């Protein structure tokens, strides 16, 4: 429903939304936001000493493709490289286990041994090759009873 109480169907508003998105994505947007000082999502962005090619950040998603030994493999390489090619300015990896303890999460990648580090190196090399930036999301998983026992 619009602010004046008029009800609109998706069929009524979708063409305008699509036109708006097309105008914005091609840089031909002529609406009220044209004079805005807000940066465009497609504009580069500095993040510390890195320059991201745009402001589109891919959040962490559970993929569970690192079978059988938690070592990132060709499926991980393909997945993250596709996202970098698709335009993600920054990719945050799926949760990456930092120790063997707590590996009851089937297919989750790890980064606690040399094989896993080498697997991630192949992923990051591939992502960097297509101009992407990727950050690892370390996920420490401990037995809650261990944490409680420490206190």
Residue 13 structural domain: 1-38
Residues 8 and 54 in one domain: no
| Residue owning tokens 């993250």 | 80
Mean pLDDT of the chain: 77
CATH (domain of 145) = 3.30.750
What is the domain count for the chain? 2
Burial of 63 (0-12, 13-18, 19+ CB in 10 A): middle
| 72/117 Cα distance (integer angstroms) | 8
pLDDT score of 2 = 36
Residues 86 and 124 in one domain: yes
| 47/56 Cα distance (integer angstroms) | 13
Tens digits of residue pLDDT in 33-58:
555 677 888 899 888 898 999 999 99
Residues 67 and 2 in one domain: no
pLDDT score of 64 = 85
Question: Average pLDDT of 11-23?
Answer: 46
Residues 43 and 95 in one domain: yes
Residues 46 and 33 in one domain: no
């Amino acid at each position: 429903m619009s602010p004046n109480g008029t009800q609109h169907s998706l069929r009524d508003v979708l063409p305008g939304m699509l036109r708006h998105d097309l105008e914005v994505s091609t840089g031909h947007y002529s609406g009220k936001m044209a004079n805005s000082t807000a940066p465009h999502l497609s504009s580069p962005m500095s993040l510390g000493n890195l320059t991201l090619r745009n402001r589109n950040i891919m959040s962490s998603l559970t993929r569970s493709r690192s079978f059988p030994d938690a070592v990132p493999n060709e499926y991980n390489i393909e997945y993250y490289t596709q996202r970098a090619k698709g335009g993600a300015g920054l990719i945050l990896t799926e949760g990456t286990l930092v120790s063997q303890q707590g590996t009851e999460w089937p297919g989750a990648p790890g980064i606690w041994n040399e094989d896993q580090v080498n697997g991630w190196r192949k992923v990051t090399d591939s992502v960097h090759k297509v101009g992407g930036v990727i950050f690892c999301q370390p996920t420490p998983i401990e037995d809650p009873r261990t944490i409680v026992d420490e206190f």
